[in-house]
Structure 1
């Protein structure tokens, strides 16, 4: 019975938390131990929690924000690619990696405030953001709050709500199944894992975010909304996000999944880099407006 439960935990964790894919494991690590770099890693107290972060490169600031159940190290392909082009700033979000949890109810609101606090701590006047999955949600929330001056955002695999109108049913069911397992483990007072932490991360996935569509109209930053055509997020929902941001572009990548950033890093990084480098355009194909 325990083996079956452990297999379910592994399966659900892989689906919903973006653990290392087979392709990530096959590729050798870089010389720099991203996420565990004792030479440059730092802690700062933000909103009552110790938040761990690292910085690489010089120039215009670029925040790279990881997804649920992940950490700095899982964004290594983007850090390695962009640290020769930008001042790359990466952090373990609250309750992830080396950063403290310090709450009984983890929310995207809190994580967003933490990232805004880090930007303030570093005195960043203007910045760009690449956010993957939960990181994309946080990036959009930062743009909506406008407490940080943001030039451009790339949000990969983000969603506005947690239900099946936004997220494919298999993922919704996986989260529900994992919730039941975690709640059972907590009732049994099992100590093999930090079940309270898992519960709070699942709360992000299963009960959040709850971003009103109309809030997207508050975004003044230029945004690229990305997803794989076989993403966890429904293609229709990705289009919905794109259509409601004033200055947005859309990229649904053929033959890609929610983990395109690690499965096809060269491809994904090239798209992100092109968006950051080139002037923003949102051309109009309405031929009826064209002069004769």
Structure 2
């Protein structure tokens, strides 16, 4: 574990295991601890590099706006500093948006991409979820004191008093419109999309996302020869809030990372 100085940010990361690297990016208000349930299964096959995104966990807030694009540049710089080479990347929710931007902005760094509970446009979230995101501010952060996320933040953050500020800055980020459909359609990195069947993102958006990646347009063929390079998994009986802890998640992720996938032509 340690820190890397990248783009004016002292970015915290942890490395464990051996083999091909897999970078893990947590969701909003989370940290490397968010992957506790997922780590054991992944460690059997991968060297894990878990990162605390700016303002989260052990990485202090930076004196700049919170943006998916700049955080993607930060993680890309970390991959370069650690000399990871062509790597695999898994991001969840907020971390998924950062991972998607990294794939768009730095495609040569990635071998495979896994996005968990991540939309490609802001309005991919359910309207009620968008409204809750838009309302996030310092007062919301104060109301969230005492939650498991706050207790972890208070224990590990370099400035625990920044908890309300994180909520305000996250709210400002989540109010910004974005639609990355054209850039997603141009991606060539094999991508696994994973959603819960009761996610904060409609299953219809998941299908549209998969379609942009070349999936869902034709029968895969009896021998699978016409399958797309990317894949879609909708995990049953789960939500946006418990999908990271579900055994079904590594069961979906590991075959994608370890088995041959037809590369795009």
TM over 0.5: yes
Residue pair 2:121, 2:181 contacting (<8 A) in 1 also = no
Provide the residue aligned with 1:176 in structure 2.
134
Is 1:258–2:240 an aligned residue pair? yes
Task: Report Cα offsets for 1:19-69 as digits up to 9, x if no partner.
Answer: xxxxxxxxxxxxxxxxxxxxxx20111110111111001110111111111
Shift in Å, 1:79: 2.0
Which residue in 1 is equivalent to 2:164? 195
Q: Does structure 2 retain, via aligned residues, the 8 Å contact 1:68–1:133?
A: yes
Aligned pairs for 1:211-250 (under 5 A) are 211-246=179-214, 247-250=229-232
Q: CA deviation at 1:176?
A: 3.0
Q: Which residue of 1 aligns with 2:253?
A: 272
Q: Tell me if structure 1 keeps the 8 A contact 2:138–2:168.
A: no
Runs of 5+ unmatched residues, structure 2: 144-159, 215-228
How far apart are residue 261 of structure 1 and its match?
3.3
Are 1:137 and 1:159, in contact at CA under 8 Å, matched by a contact in 2?
Answer: yes
Structure 1: 5+ residue runs without aligned partners? 1-40, 186-190, 283-292
**Alignment TM-score, normalising by the size of structure 1:** 0.73
- Greater C-alpha radius of gyration: 1
Which secondary structure does the structure 1 equivalent of 2:91 belong to? strand
Aligned CA distance change for structure 1 residues 184 and 65 (closer, same or farther; 3 Å) = closer
CA contact (8 A) 1:116 1:147 kept: no
Q: Secondary structure at the match of 2:135?
A: helix
Q: Match for residue 141 of structure 1?
A: 101
Contact 1:104 1:200 in 2 (8 A): no
Task: State the Cα distance separating 1:184 from its structure 2 match.
Answer: 11
Match of 1:206 in 2: 175
Aligned pair partner of 1:97 in 49, 57, 61: 57
C-alpha distance in structure 2 between counterparts of 1:281 and 1:139, whole Å: 22
Are 1:261 and 1:269, in contact at CA under 8 Å, matched by a contact in 2? no
For residues 184 and 62 of structure 1, do their structure 2 counterparts lie closer, same or farther at Cα, with a shift above 3 Å needed? closer
User: Partner residue of 2:152?
Assistant: none
Q: How many residues align?
A: 233
SS of 2:61 mapped into structure 1: coil
* Cα displacement (A) at 1:148: 4.1
Q: Is the 8 A contact 1:167 1:232 kept in 2?
A: yes
Query: How much does 1:78 deviate?
Result: 2.0
Under a length normalisation based on structure 2, what TM-score does the superposition of the two structures give?
0.80
